[in-house]
Structure 1
Amino acid sequence: MKQRIFNILSFIIVILPFMATIGGSATAFAATKDTQIVTLHKYAFDTTSQALPDIENDGTDKAADITKNNNAKPLQGIRFTAYDVTENYVTSRKKGADNETTFKVLKDLKATDLTSNQSYDFAATDNSGVTSQELPVTSTVNGKEENAVYVIMEAASKGDVQVASNMVISLPFYEKDGTTPMSNVNLYPKNTLNLVNLDFTKYGVTGDNKVNPLAGANFVLKNSEGQYLNKTLANGVLPTFGDQVDNTDVAKFTSDKAGKVSTEQLFSQGLALSDGDYTYEELSDNATGTTVGNEKDLTVDDTTHHVYHIGSEAKKTITFTVNAGKITNVRSFDKNEAASTEKAVYNYEVPAPKKDVEKTVNDNGIDINAPIQYTVTENIPLDIATYTQFALTDTPDKALEIDTANTITATVTASDGKTTTVTPKFVKNTDGFTLDFFAVADAKAAVQASPGGSVTFKYSAKVKPGVSPEADINNEISFANNHTPIGNKTTKKIHTYGAQFVKQDAYDSSKTLAGAEFMVLNEDKTKYRTSDDNWKTYTEGTTPTDAAILKSDKTGKFAVTGLQVGTYNLKETKAPTDYQLPAKPYTDFKVTPTSFSKTTELKTIVNTQKGVLPHTGGIGIILFILVGIAIIGMTIVYFKKRQQQLNA
């Protein structure tokens, strides 16, 4: 074993000089090479969060470190030219300028100053932002070989990127040992983007001429060639454009709650747009050009958003010019669609109809069969001249029965308060009706003459029997117009309520009682509920034949439905078999919006069993009395004998 180790060590000692010779030969070969590869790494740096990084151009590869620590992204398609300025350098030094001063002068040169100098063009940077060129390491000046000096210049940009400063280098570059030429000289010209951001505000013009910020409007950005900006940036840096607006990659900018629209919504740093003209185009939600506003201040009741239609200039809502990262010449339209320079875009409200019922119905619900009066109001938009259709359609819930004749009169109120009574065309639908104002000449004229005004009409309905308590009973009113083909709708909800009960034994809650019967009375017991869900005057001590009778089932449960919120009474008219009616037959109860569905509000009503009485002719309690007397007598005799024994 020792001999083997000794042999291996001997071999290494012998071979080392040859290895050194091979290494020396490689160094000598590199030193005699007359060109050197220069590789440029082109990055865009995020200057919004920090200053440009200080990169030492010593020729070493720093790409991984730069991208990791400086949020740098490669720039594709950038071109460079290296100009041989060795003669310029030598001339300056011979005139007495030092090295630093000479390099500064060379750095400030322009391409027009070097038209007669030898030049070498780099290929455009690739997808990694990299380009390379092999450059001679020497240059002949006045018959003498000198170390080559170059000025590397970046070609003029399209305005989206700030051109990097010239770089002055002297070849060859050496490794850290100072004697071995680098196989690849890595250089990092520093660049920043000419970032721009145009923000503007989206407004909705309401029917009464008020202007409010409008959320939910969508825009796309077009260049002068009619192409649309994409969400995907080239290398995550430079914008790309496509021909199709419906492409999934097209960037869409949406107004926020304050109506603000900004390119920074999608591109946090802004955009490096090339010089030229750009236009924001507003997108509509459908073929008629409507957009839905989501601002809470612009809702009707709590169910329907106002709907706005886009202006006639939607294809060019805002146009602007970019020049070297500066936005100029902003053009837009004001709320009257006149030319403007304000950074704003306007939509026009398609007002939703408003439906009201009496306050008591809103707050307390409704009794079945009680009449409900609805009042419908539709604001007349300011741009009523653009409307070719103006109709209101009522669609009631199946639980509602509309009570109206085949005509309804409406009141048109102008913005100055002047009123006109009109009779629009009445069209009976399956369950509801439509009032068409533009189908009747005088009704159409009155509406068109009242921008900013309103139309109002009233009608009645009632809730049908059998409606589930606490369920929504909807009544929808929709505004049919040429701007919103699906109609701008408002739904008014009403409710009817009830309560549930359980009948059980007074002393055994597990024992539920079937067959108990009750009638329903109002709070002061002056009216009773009839079998057809009406109310009639009640006479104390009676059970009217038309009274609605509630009966407990085999589980002891029963319920009353179709009532408003309030306090009521149950009167027990028949007790369960083998049970007696309570001495006080009335039980008060409350109907609330949840008294039917919440088990915690289930009310319990109890009954007591009938007493057990002796039969006629029976001994009754005499037997119990005699037994008691006998026990007492026996006790007295016992204690007397005991006393005699003690005295003896």
Structure 2
Amino acid sequence: MDSNSLKTKTSKLLVIGVAVLALLGALLGLSLQNNSSKVHADNTTPSSTVDITVHKLQYTGTAPSIDNDGSELSLPSTVSAYDPSKYGDVGFTVYDITSGVSSKYSTDGLTNGDISEIVENASTYETDANKVANQKDVGTDGTVTFSDLPNYSSSQNHHVYLIAETKSSKLIKTTAQPMVIVTPMTNSTGDGYLSTVNVYPKNEIQTLSFTLTKQAEKNGQSAAALAGAKFLLYKGTPGSGTQVTNSDGSEVELTTDDNGKIKATNLTVGSYYFVEEASDDVSTDGSAGDGYLLGKDALNDANNKLTFTIGSDGNVTPTDQTYINYQKPASTKTVTNGSSTDNSFDQGATVKYQATITAPNNISDYTEFNWVDTPGTGLKYSSDTAFTLTYGDSVDGTQTALTKSTDYNLTYDTDNKTYKIDFLDSSNQLLNSSLAGKVVTISYSMALDPTTAKVATDIDNNYNLNWNNGTGKNTNTGKATVYTYGAQFIKKSAGILGTGTGNSALSGAEFVVRNSNSEYLKQISDGTSNWVSSQDDATVFTSGTDGTFSVEGLAKGAYSLKEIKAPTGYQLRTSDLSFTVDESSNSKTIEVDDNAKGLLSTGSQWLMLIIALVIVIGTTLGVKEYRKARKVNA
């Protein structure tokens, strides 16, 4: 081929190349200028190879217009270099389709229709046989360069390349159209050839979202949506991530709706995790709302499980997530015998207790779960104290027995005089998984201690339910209170003629106490109160020098006091004195006087003597006055 022939054909090829790029520009929103008429081919020969640099651009909204002539451009403010760290990996592959389109190629190059057909059927050209450059990903600056592609030779004076976006991310709304480039290509001034052809495919980017569903489970019930729960969103590794904020730097706090859902939006590539905050219904100790607890899986630490990832391909894993808050364990303690009004007992009596524990549905996640019984002053364990444990759906429902050392461990602390029931083993593993959501009933008994139990004073049996759901140790505290009561008395004389005037305290009077069943009170040496049928076995209460005596260690109720020995010089009462024992009876004194029915009823001999003497003296004085009166009249 002579030089004139080369000049003519090269010029035409350059025209064709620019024309194709002009069409490509229309397809991609680019504008390319044809400057081939200015090339002086006799002074310049195309290089044998060429580089093609793809400048991946991103935008939102309306696609910007870019005039592209193959040279490197300054970008308008409406676009920016593609950021794969936010929007995912994008890769391009180069195919040499020169031979595949040779039938379409003429001395005038490729027509616009030819190029449209190539683009529409790009997949037929994207074969391994045509591939001249393997897929390469766009770098952090948004570009990728394919170097040393065949450009020009004496045997092949043009090349047609198809550049396809063969790797994309879901953060891109649509992939870029395949690009058709014909080389060699003249520079913008038309006086030479480009060693690097620059192309600027544009993609509209988008952000993704993630939905978290929040539910709550009451003990023994199924989960239901929980509205009003609050979360923060972090990006990075759980425990060391960076909190996601609004564009103004303010905190992004997500609150679940009536369906228990929150949606995190404007998300790009990265790892994320939710951190739950305390709210009106959720707290660390169960004190808020219905007692739902913050869970260990939602804390801002390395154990956080509320994670999701948007990969470099834009895939979200997992696609959504559900998180459940569980209710705190509940506990009670009651007294099942004694006075029905206020749990009062006779001194030394056996007190029967029933404690309940409602185990949370997720008890298997707990690292501590034990119950400790602590008797207060005035209570003691008996030598044969035994704990009986059962569980069921409710206290009153069908019960299943629990076995010591299999389903729970029981220990006694001799220093603190407490019993501990532990439902976890030494490795903090739940001993019986069937307890989840069930009500555990603990039955046992204690006794009032006559040496320490005080009348009309709270006698408490305390308990602690210690638990830890992974967010920290918490304790439920409670108690059941019992009482024993008493009464204070004073023995007095009936006074002059039984009027109470001139009465005095009487010592030495003896009494026994009877209950409403006509049984007699017998108190043994330690103060324990028992009831016997024979008066001969009853405890005798004797009035002191000041006339007082007391009866203590009785349950609330109605009683009677029977005088069995009168003070010296007095007669026995002919009737019993009824009295009531209650919370106030020990703070007042009940007066026990002589019968006031008649002067002789109590055998007050000194009083009768004084009255007789007064009568005698009065009669004598009267006789004397009468005699004096008669002498005067005579």
**TM-score bracket relative to the smaller structure:** 0.3 to 0.5
Larger radius of gyration: 2
Select the structure with the greater relative contact order (CA < 8 A; seq sep ≥ 6).
Answer: 2
Q: TM-score, normalised by structure 2?
A: 0.46
